[in-house]
Copies of this chain bind each other. A is one copy, B any other.
Amino acid sequence: MNKFAMYGKLIAHPGQRDALVQTMLEAADQLDSMEGCELYIINVSENDPDVVWITELWRDAEAHAASLQNENVLALIQKCRPLIAGAEPIKLRPVGGKGI
């Protein structure tokens, strides 16, 4: 299996989580038509009021890398920067299961 997966943990500055969620939902809209992006789910943490988790699944690493060259995606990443205190990606290799 050649798919690329990642959990993106984003730590918002205090009080900025909801603004960050809105911007990430805009990013998800941009990715709706992007071929190769299979999952881009925005979650909030049940335990930490500042944390947003993004569930990503891509056809392959190339599709993921290409998205980071997309003008609209780059503009949204810039828009998010002032809202983000930290980011911790968890890189995964999917092997199978339901929904993949």
Contact = CB atoms under 8 A, between A and B. Distances in A.
A31 interface: yes
A45 B90 contact: yes
Interface residues of A, number: 34
A43 B93 contact: yes
Given A90-B53, A91-B47, A42 B7 contact: no
13 contacts: A5-B41, A5-B43, A5-B55, A7-B53, A25-B95, A28-B97, A38-B98, A39-B100, A40-B98, A45-B91, A45-B93, A55-B55, A55-B97
Interface string A6-41: 010000000000000100110010011000011111
Q: How many copies does the complex hold?
A: 2
A100 to B, nearest CB: 5
A53 B43 CA distance: 16
Q: Which 8 interchain pairs have the tightest Cβ spacing?
A: A43-B92, A39-B99, A28-B97, A46-B91, A40-B98, A41-B97, A42-B97, A43-B94
Contact of A95 (B21, B31, B100): B21
